[in-house]
Amino acid sequence: MTATPSFSSLQLHPSLQQGLKELGFARPTPIQAEAIPPALEGRDVLACAMTGSGKTYAFLLPILHHLMEKPRGTTRALVITPTRELAAQIVESLNDVTVHTPLTGAAVFGGVGMGPQEHAFRSGADVIVATPGRLLDHFRMPYAKLEHLEYLVLDEADRMLDMGFLPEIKKVLRHLPQKKRQTLFFSATMPAPIAALTKEMLSNPFTLNLQRQAAPAVGITQAVYPVSQDLKSGLLVALLKRGDMPQALVFTRTKHRANRLAAQLVAAGIKAERIHGNRSQAQRTQALAGFKDGDYQVLVATDIAARGIDVEALGHVVNFDVPLAAEDYIHRVGRTARAEATGEAFTFVSPDEEGDLKQIERAIKKTLPRVTVPDFDYSAKPQTKLEVPLAERIAEIRKKKAEDRARAAAKVERRNAAQSGGARPAGGRPAAPARKTSESRGPSTGSRGPSAGGSGGSGGGASKSGAAGRVRRGPHRGQGGNGGGSSNSGGGSSRGGGDSPYA
């Protein structure tokens, strides 16, 4: 199917057309032009769409068009996506295009409180965009039934497979009403487990681009910078200070390297932040917002956390480390040259990474040009090492654990000395008078006596998150490990949600 000349020819609702016009979108991308018409007809859609192709509006626009004629107050569309950042980005895109409509969207993911998300379910946000783990948390509650669901989207299905979410996806499907619904399925690749899932979910789908090999977008200029591991940081600083990269999204293989690189960039006078799975959701949100607003010249990211990073007119992506798979390379460089724009992708390659790069070049059927920076000293001795050797990191962890154990043992010794009736504890100070134990006070549910454990154990007492139940209490409340004291670990819904730190 040839690309349609303009959005107006797709006969979308006028309010959506106005939103698109104000966003500066005059004509659809190829994936939008191919996917929107059959979706408007109510058909299931199965699409292989690479990163940066405009697939978000390919599934949002037909759904929003249909929702314009539906009554408000109930959730009729659910979008499932692998990461928090991608969920937030989809809701942002929805809000941008529905500015002249009454339609509402809500993001549901881990790392943040469940209260506002519960409100979205109860109030009936028109579209909910969710990660699998947190969605299952809500499905344990009576308010999250989605009995009026009419539209379902799986976005980046292959990435959900890579992240181990396939079992969660199948659980989610069991929670959804079994009535007929329209399903839109998007994936960059089609591995066997995903192909099998499409057969379960889709009914006579309209398929497109299934045989097309994944490849970086046409507008990306790619280049390779051969450099030793120890000089990668220095080369990046040199390129940034030349002024050729006003902003850059920089990828590392590990969270440890992301932390170290960001710290070295800041030490060199470059405004930088990092985003990865060990950062809290608030930190990830702040870092991404600051990068979008131009507060940071560099955002250092790991592969999984970078899903959903969509920065308008991002000109440069840097592979500080060569990715292990061609698919990851494609997703990384796809952060630039989005929606038919242009951009540059640079890959730093050390001698030990040449084999990984050759595999990528075979996959994309292209030999990437090698570039050297004329005024950079490739023989310089690095001032600081990026990577702390694993043995040193393990030794530091063991040292900290030994210190923690010593503190815990000293604490137990002081407590035992205090309970023995005034003996001096290890610190040499007189012990505080011993409190009476529960044996001298009569029966109680949990005691402070010799057999009691620390506060907040796993007993069946009053639980902040567990199932409700009556708890027998004696003359005083216990704080024992297996007694009936207050517990934070009972059954029922979890306070923090079930998402992995990547979701």
Together in a domain, 176 and 234: no
Report pLDDT for 390: 63
Which residue has 């390297």 as its token pair?
A: 257
- Helix ranges (H only) for 268-389 are 281-292, 326-333, 354-364
Query: How far is the C-alpha of 80 from the C-alpha of 314, rounded, in Å?
Result: 26
Question: Rg for the chain (alpha carbons), in Å?
Answer: 28
Buried/exposed 131-160: b ≥16 CB within 10 Å, e otherwise: bbbbbbbbbeeeebebeebbbbbbbbbbbb
Please say if the pLDDT value at position 494 is more than 60.
no
Together in a domain, 235 and 201: no
Residues facing 176 on adjacent strands = none
From residue 36, how far is each of 195, 405, 480 by CA, in Å? Answer: 22, 61, 61
Together in a domain, 140 and 271: no
- The pLDDT tens digits of the residues spanning 355-371 come to 999 999 988 888 999 99
Domain that holds residue 117: 7-208
Together in a domain, 361 and 302: yes
| Domain-embedded: residue 368 | yes
Lowest mean pLDDT among 41-45, 68-72, 282-286: 282-286
| Domain-embedded: residue 409 | no
Return the CATH number at 386: 3.40.50.300
Buried/exposed 3-41: b ≥16 CB within 10 Å, e otherwise: ebeebeebebbebbbebbeeeebebbbbbbbbbbbbbbe
Buried/exposed 231-240: b ≥16 CB within 10 Å, e otherwise: bbbbbbbbbb
For the chain, report the end-to-end CA distance as a whole number of angstroms. 35
CB 112 within 8 A of CB 500: no
- The pLDDT tens digits of the residues spanning 414-452 come to 888 888 765 454 444 444 444 444 444 444 444 344 444
CB 308 within 8 A of CB 155: no
**Residue type for position 338:** R
User: What mean pLDDT, rounded, does the chain reach?
Assistant: 80
CB 61 within 8 A of CB 16: yes
Strand order in the sheet with 272-275: 220-226, 343-349, 316-319, 248-251, 298-301, 272-275
Report pLDDT for 138: 96
Query: How far is the C-alpha of 467 from the C-alpha of 487, rounded, in Å?
Result: 11
| Domain-embedded: residue 493 | no
Which residue has 């009576």 as its token pair?
A: 142
Together in a domain, 203 and 226: no
DSSP string, 234-300: HHHHHHHHTTS-SSEEEE-SSHHHHHHHHHHHHHTT--EEEE-TTS-HHHHHHHHHHHHTTS-SEEE
Report pLDDT for 225: 95
User: How many domains are contained in the chain?
Assistant: 2
Which residue has 């797709």 as its token pair?
A: 10
| Domain-embedded: residue 49 | yes
Together in a domain, 50 and 184: yes
From the number of C-beta atoms within 10 Å of its C-beta (0-12, 13-18, 19+), residue 218 rates as exposed
The bridge status of strand 127-130 relative to strand 105-108 is parallel
Structure tokens at 159: 């990435």
Residues facing 250 on adjacent strands = 300, 318
Q: How confident is the model at residue 298 (pLDDT cuts 50, 70, 90)?
A: very high
| Domain-embedded: residue 359 | yes
Percent of the chain exceeding pLDDT 70 equals: 75
Together in a domain, 187 and 230: no
